[in-house]
Amino acid sequence: MGIFNIIKMKKNIAILGSTGSIGKTTVNIIRKNKTNYNICLLSTNKNIKEILKQAKNFNVKNLIIADKEKFNYIKNNKKYKKINFYNNFDNLNKIFKKKIDYTMSSISGLEGLEPTLKIIKHTKKIAIANKESIICGWNLINKEIKKNLTTFIPVDSEHFSIWSLLNNTKNNEIEEVVLTASGGPFLNYPIKKFTNISPEMAIKHPNWSMGKKISIDSATLMNKVFEIIEAQRIFDIKIHKFKIMIHPNSYIHAIVKFNNGLIKFLAHDTDMTIPIFNSLIDNQKIKTKKIDYKILNNLKLSIVDNKRYPSIKILRNIKNKPSLYETAIVSANDELVDLFYNKKIKFTEISYYLQKILNLREILYYKNKFPKNHKEIKKFSEYVRLKTINLCI
C-alpha cells in the first residue's frame, strides 16, 4: 500500500480596491498566511506605486488600473512585462479560467458596484465592504449571488456582527436589531458651536482610523443611516426593527433581541482585521487584545439626540424594498461632504441641504422606482450630484 502526502492547495483570491484601507488590511492578513493563499488579481484606481509593490510581494500576474492615464503610463513599461495590465473589469473571463475561492470587494463609492456585479460569477465567496454598492444595488448583487451560488459575507463590522449573531435565524424570530455608533468627534461638543466646525475637526474620529469621507459621515451619523439601510437590504428585516444607540467605546458592534427573550451581542476591538480575518480564514487563531472588562462594565449606551444628529431623520423615508431613492441619498451626501471638506458649505449645512434635496418632488418620485441595472443607478447618481451642486452654490 503506497503512502501519499496530502498537499494543501492554496486558495486563489482577488482583492478589488487593494490599495485602500480595507484592501491593505486584507493584504496584510494574507502576508501572515502566505503559504495558504495565492493572489490572482489586484485592482486600484490610480495608486500604481502601492499596487506594484503588492504585486511584487505576492507575485501577482493580473492588475486592473481603473484610471486611464495611470493605466496608459504603466501598461507598456518593459520592467513589468510579466504582469498583465487591464483598464477595466471586462476581461475577467481571460483572468479566471475557473471559479476562485474568495474575493474581497472594497472599491469605495458607487464605482465599486459594476466590478462587484462582474466578479460574482467568478468567485465561490465574496466579501463586500462597500456601503454604496449594497445600498444602491443590493437587488442586482443578490440576484447575481443567487444565480451563481456564490457565498456572500458582509465585512463592515456592524453587518458582520449581525450576520454572526443571526446564524440563519428566521426573520420572524427577531424582535430588534441595534447598531451602535461612537457618536464621532462631536458627541459632547456644544451644538451652538456646530456652525464653526471645520473639516480638520470633523475627520478626527475618536476610535477608528478611517478615510476623510467616512470620518465626516461618522461625525454627522450618516454612516449609521447608511448602515441601517444596508442591513435592511442584506438581512431583509423590517426597517422599523432597527435602532441606533450611541456607544462611545465602539466595543459592542451589534445587539440582537430575539422573540424567545434572548439578547445577543457581539464585541471586538476597533480593528477591521477581525471581521476581514473571519471572512477569509476559518477556525484559526488571530492575535488580539484581552477582553476589556472595564468597557463591558460601563457600556454607556444612550439614545441618539436628533438635534445633534439630524441626519437620522432620513430613516423615516426608507421603505423595506430597494429603490433609486437610496441612490439619491448616497449621491447627494457624497457631494455635500465634498463641498464641506472643500469649505464651500458649513458642517450644519450637510444635513440641511441633504434633507432639502431628498424632499424635492422630482427626487421623491424615485421612491417607487426599482433599480434595473448599474447603468441606470450611475446615470441617476450623476443627475443627483449635479442637482446638489446647483442647489448649494
Grid coordinates belonging to 245 = 444607540
Domain-embedded: residue 50: yes
**pLDDT score recorded for residue 206:** 82
Total domains in the fold of the chain? 3
Q: Based on the fold, state whether residues 252 and 268 are members of the same structural domain.
A: yes
Q: Based on the fold, state whether residues 104 and 219 are members of the same structural domain.
A: no
Q: Based on the fold, state whether residues 327 and 198 are members of the same structural domain.
A: no
Q: Based on the fold, state whether residues 150 and 173 are members of the same structural domain.
A: no
CA 94 to chain centre: 28
Is the model's pLDDT at 5 over the cut of 60? no
CATH number of 355's domain? 1.10.1740
Reported as a pLDDT band with limits 50, 70 and 90, residue 245 is very high
Grid coordinates belonging to 355 = 434633507
Looking at residues 104-115, what average pLDDT do you find? 96
Q: Based on the fold, state whether residues 163 and 222 are members of the same structural domain.
A: yes
Q: Is 139 exposed, middle or buried (0-12, 13-18, 19+ CB in 10 A)?
A: middle
For residues 355 and 313, the answer to whether their CB atoms sit within 8 Å is: yes
Is the model's pLDDT at 121 over the cut of 50? yes
For residues 17 and 23, the answer to whether their CB atoms sit within 8 Å is: yes
Looking at residues 208-214, what average pLDDT do you find? 81
The CA-based angle 148-44-93, given to 5 degrees, is: 35
Q: Based on the fold, state whether residues 120 and 174 are members of the same structural domain.
A: no
Decide which of 310, 334, 353 is a domain's last residue.
310
Count of residues for the chain?
393
Domain-embedded: residue 1: no
Domain-embedded: residue 91: yes
Measured CA to CA, the distance from residue 216 to residue 201 in angstroms comes to 9
The rounded mean pLDDT for the chain is 94
Residue among 325, 320, 22 nearest 156 (CA): 22
C-alpha count within 13 angstroms, C-beta hemisphere, residue 28:
13
Domain-embedded: residue 316: no
Could you count the other beta carbons within 10 Å of the beta carbon of residue 286? 12
Domain-embedded: residue 166: yes
Looking at residues 89-109, what average pLDDT do you find? 96
**% of the chain exceeding 90 in pLDDT:** 89
Decide which of 111, 138, 154 is a domain's last residue.
154
For residues 57 and 31, the answer to whether their CB atoms sit within 8 Å is: yes
Is the model's pLDDT at 249 over the cut of 90? yes
Q: Where are the beta strands (DSSP E) in the chain?
A: 11-16, 37-44, 62-65, 84-86, 102-105, 125-128, 151-154, 174-181, 242-246, 252-258, 263-267, 302-303
The predicted model scores a pTM of 0.93
Decide which of 283, 310, 337 is a domain's last residue.
310
**pLDDT score recorded for residue 34:** 87
Q: Based on the fold, state whether residues 327 and 340 are members of the same structural domain.
A: yes
Domain-embedded: residue 150: yes
Measured CA to CA, the distance from residue 299 to residue 360 in angstroms comes to 40
Domain-embedded: residue 3: no
Cα–Cα distances in angstroms (integers) from residue 77 to residues 39, 47, 63, 83, 261, in the given order: 22, 16, 14, 10, 63
Reported as a pLDDT band with limits 50, 70 and 90, residue 3 is very low
Q: Based on the fold, state whether residues 141 and 160 are members of the same structural domain.
A: no
Could you count the other beta carbons within 10 Å of the beta carbon of residue 145? 19
Is the model's pLDDT at 89 over the cut of 60? yes
Looking at residues 215-243, what average pLDDT do you find? 96
pLDDT tens for each residue of 25-81: 999 999 998 889 999 999 999 999 999 999 999 999 999 999 999 999 998 888 898
Q: Between residues 75 and 264, which one has the greater pLDDT?
A: 264
Looking at residues 95-107, what average pLDDT do you find? 97
Query: Sheet harboring 263-267: ordered strands across?
Result: 263-267, 252-258, 174-181, 242-246, 302-303
Q: Based on the fold, state whether residues 159 and 248 are members of the same structural domain.
A: yes
Q: Based on the fold, state whether residues 133 and 167 are members of the same structural domain.
A: no
Q: Based on the fold, state whether residues 306 and 160 are members of the same structural domain.
A: yes
CATH number of 116's domain? 3.40.50.720
Domain-embedded: residue 318: no
Can you give the residue range of the structural domain that contains 50?
11-154
Reported as a pLDDT band with limits 50, 70 and 90, residue 211 is confident
Q: Based on the fold, state whether residues 335 and 296 are members of the same structural domain.
A: no
Looking at residues 187-197, what average pLDDT do you find? 96
